[in-house]
Chain A
Amino acid sequence: MRAGLAVLIHLVPLLGGLLIGLFGFRLRERSWKLGVPAVAIAFLLSLWTLYTVSNDGMARLVLFEPNHSLPSSFRVSLLIDRLSAVMMVLVTGVSLIVHVYSIRYMQGERGYARFFALLGIITATLLFMVSSANLLMLFMCWQLVSWLLYLLLAYNYTYRPSVDLAFKSFLVFRLGDIAFLSGVLLACATYGTLELPDLFARAAVSTPSFPLWPGGPEIGAPAAISLLLFVGAIAKSAQFPLHVWLPDTMDSPTPVSALMHAGIVNAAGFLINRLAPLYGLAPSTLHVAFVIGGLTAILGAAMMLTQSDVKKMLGFSTMGQMGYMTMECGLGAFALAIFHLIAHGIFKATLFLYAGRGIHEARHDPKSPTGHEAVHDIDPFPRLSWFTGVSLTLIVPLVILLASHGVLHIPLQDQQGAVIFLFFAWVTSSQAILSLYRLKAVGTRKVAAIMILALSLVMFTYLWAAETFTYYLYPAPGVASRYFQAAAFPLWLFNLFVGTVAVLLIVGWVVVYTNARGQRLRMMARVAAWSPRLYVWLWNRLLVDDLYATVRLKAMRTMRRANAALPDWLL
């Protein structure tokens, strides 16, 4: 019964998508009548599956058993556990919102039926991906998502820039797919299986290693496999240096952006969680993930500040958030990353769909959006907000640290998970509080109250919700803490991170204070001299896109020259 329902979740949107694809030329603007109910049914069934999986445990379904002449890796099987159930709810939920929104948003478009067909098929593919019990099947869905996303991005296929940017995305996805496939092949060659439970069991008992090149340094199999799979993940999750596709995909219809930013870019977080036992055996990969994620988070946020287009800003914001999520994975907080991606997914889908509505309105009403009238009588230095901000971001954390260390004698270095949650709670709330400080049009008391509310909310989220969620996804005793231990950094390095963040916060508040007083710090003047250059660099996305374009152009030119040098009769 449960197995049948789980299969239905996958098949209903697939069937809906295929039927629209086949009969779209007749259905046209009635296509949603097939697509929306299909996804709604899948969403309800996903909720039911989440409920049953939470109570009765996981289920494994074999849909196709290969014959004797095929490797057993060709088995098509589903693994319905808590992770896949949560992801199925997220995928179908976001897809349902996007479907419903698109009913009117896409009205009058030539490719209305095509759009709904692709939406249904990509939803089904994502569902198969999040519930696959086999690495080959996971890869199969992974690359199919790349292809379907390309087709959705090139939805407006008569508009050249949109098509070119879709192709750019496809190239990056394909690069990631190839790395992913290399990881799959290496896993198959090393452990002789691609069935996830068997693969994890074999990887846990045997960790062979091989040289990176003949006579070169050795690398462990789990590290090599997880690194290759991670490259696949960073391509889809727009992590530096494979982030170049994401900010350029804003020419696609808003519902596609919403689906992409709320669902598909979260692939890295899901993948690392799905393969957590493997990543748990590869601390070096987790450290790489932390560095890549950190870099992406900083660059995404910095580049976002230089944008003036609302959708592009949201694009870079997604990049930063994905970096944040990867960083969490890099610290072993796998479940936190899932929590983050769910929250981000819902949040970003709302923002994108609202942005689409705003842009629509602005096109029809030149006065829209309203609310940008000049605000008079603004206090240049809201003292209360400043003091509240400093207290909440610096003094409160310091008091917590001293109290836990000095009074309660909690050995924080042994509580890796708690420290990480606290660290993220601190950084997140500080970021929110600094943003709130910029609210000039609201009364300072209100701002201070919102700051306290933000801190409470973030603390609650990290210290209760995320903690609970961690033990929901990884209920077996010691599993979650083992991942934290695997990702543990040397204490000095962690202290350095904390120190750097603290210094940045102090400098930030000091700058805010001196600016408001009309004073200038001598050091800040030097930094200020650099800021236009930095702005231009960030505005130009650190010229990474140009670098890739140059490499591509040079390669093409070389090949063209080589071809021209060949005689005419030679084929």
Chain B
Amino acid sequence: MMLSSVVAVLPLAGAGLGLLLWSRPRALKGAGILVTAVTVMASVAGLGEEGGAANRVATFAALGAFATMLGQRPDRQGPVPLTLTLALLGLSLGALSGQGLPALLCLAGTLGVVGAMLLKAGRADDPAPWGAAATMGIGLVALVASVAVSEPTATALRAVTCATLLPLFPLHGAFVGAVSYLPGTLPAFVAIVLPCLGWYEMASLDAASFAGFVPTMALTGALYGTMRAVTESHAGRAVAYLTMSLLGVAWWHPAVKDGTMHAPQGYVSAVAVAMAGLLLAGYFIRVRCGHLDLNRLRGLARPMPRLGALVGLLITAAIGMPLFGVFSEFMEMMMTAASRGASGVGLVLLVWLSVSALLVRFMQGLLFGQPPIGRLLQEDVRPQEAATLILILSLLIVLNVTVGTADPVQGPAASGAVRSP
């Protein structure tokens, strides 16, 4: 049984309800948590059935939405991210569960909503979100155009859309912008849902003809992301670039392994979840300390020990330490790549080294050092916020345990759900 379309309708209905509860953020948050919890249960129930890949991605999306809902503060700025999370969850579940035109419309809707939010976020003195919106626009146009043209152009256009969702240089801007500029906890949700959707779409492509240049673009992107992150002082952007670097490896791996574009789902999910955790932690700090300038903020571990411990664990997971999903998925990927004599292994390891060093520098810049006097009385994370990060960490541990159970070729192509608009 494929993922039920009803599951997709539920969050969309929740988003509609959000519009009604706009002025009551607390009630909106409660309703959102309820809706996403039901969606999680529905998608978990579908796990192990036919169309498992869609169910798995849906489960991750729903869990991501649940976690971000839980972490979002029901303040005056709350309704936007809360409602948009529900809307994006509904749209992405629609893209996963549907076939043909409805699925395509849902995917286009996801791209459109994120693109519109980016357009809104742009300012004359910071035009980067507009650049990101333009890249998202390219993905959207390519998706729509792919319906009108024949093969192999259609596949090429769909690959362009995938590259905007699961960031591939030079179309990574959409992802980086979405993760850096969207309000509240939305970046954390987007960091999970966009790559997972990208992976799902990519798995449906029979794009062996691109496998030749994809590794080059993937490795260039991975190095570019690392280079940008080195000098980045904006925490959100730094995490976005590092995510881009790590996800570049997901593009490289299938192309060098067997000349396909069937990226390892476990790895994409693990990286996305780990980075979403960091973005959530960033949000919790931002609501207390304002804009996260990595060059200024320091010493938070002393006034916020619970946050310090949780961020430390998240960094442990993100840099690929054992017991968390990123490690086992990365190892599995590298072993299959090395056993096939894949080229670029050295560069991937270099990227891994750089990313882990940068993440640790990021952590110690934020948490270690003498806290500024005014921050000594800073409030630590609340139980609900801590629960959000614990949920993310638990997910990463589950991903470590279930390593290898997600067959990378079990995308829509394998499950007989290839889109034929």
Contacts and interface: CB of A to CB of B under 8 A. Distances in A.
B127 A157 contact: no
B336 A571 contact: no
Contacts of A3: none
A106 interface: no
B338 interface: yes
Given A67-B404, A140-B327, A158-B302, A189 B338 contact: yes
Interface residues of B, number: 56
Contacts of A158: 299, 302, 368-371
Given A174-B353, A174-B357, A175-B353, A73 B335 contact: yes
B321 A178 contact: no
A174 B357 CA distance: 8
A292 B328 CA distance: 33
B228 interface: yes
A571 B176 contact: yes
Contacts of B368: 154, 157-158, 160, 163
Contact of A71 (B228, B332, B345, B350): B332
Interface in A107-155: 136, 140-141, 143-144, 147, 150-151, 154
A571 B369 CA distance: 30
B50 interface: no
A562 B227 CA distance: 9
Chain A: interface size category: 35 or more
B357 A560 contact: no
A167 B331 CA distance: 24
A505 B346 CA distance: 46
B331 A559 contact: no
Interface in B107-166: 126-128, 130-132, 135
Given A74-B404, A569-B127, A178 B341 contact: no
A55 interface: no
Main secondary structure of the interface of B (DSSP, over half): helix
A170 B357 contact: yes
Given A70-B404, A188-B335, A563-B228, A150 B173 contact: no
Contacts of A569: 127-128, 130-131
B364 interface: yes
B405 interface: yes
A192 interface: yes
A71 B237 CA distance: 36
B420 interface: no
A360 to B, nearest CB: 24
Given A69-B404, A167-B360, A562-B227, A568 B322 contact: no
A177 B339 CA distance: 19
Contact of B403 (A25, A74, A140, A182): A74
A167 B364 contact: yes
A270 to B, nearest CB: 19
Nearest to B299: A158
Given A163-B364, A167-B360, 6 more contacts: A66-B404, A74-B328, A182-B346, A188-B338, A569-B130, A571-B135
14 contacts: A70-B332, A71-B336, A140-B327, A141-B322, A144-B321, A174-B353, A174-B357, A178-B352, A178-B353, A188-B338, A188-B339, A562-B227, A569-B127, A571-B177
Interface of B: 126-128, 130-132, 135, 172-173, 176-177, 180, 227-228, 230-231, 237, 299, 301-302, 305, 312, 316, 319, 321-322, 327-328, 331-332, 334-336, 338-339, 341, 345-346, 349-350, 352-353, 356-357, 360-361, 364, 367-371, 403-405, 407
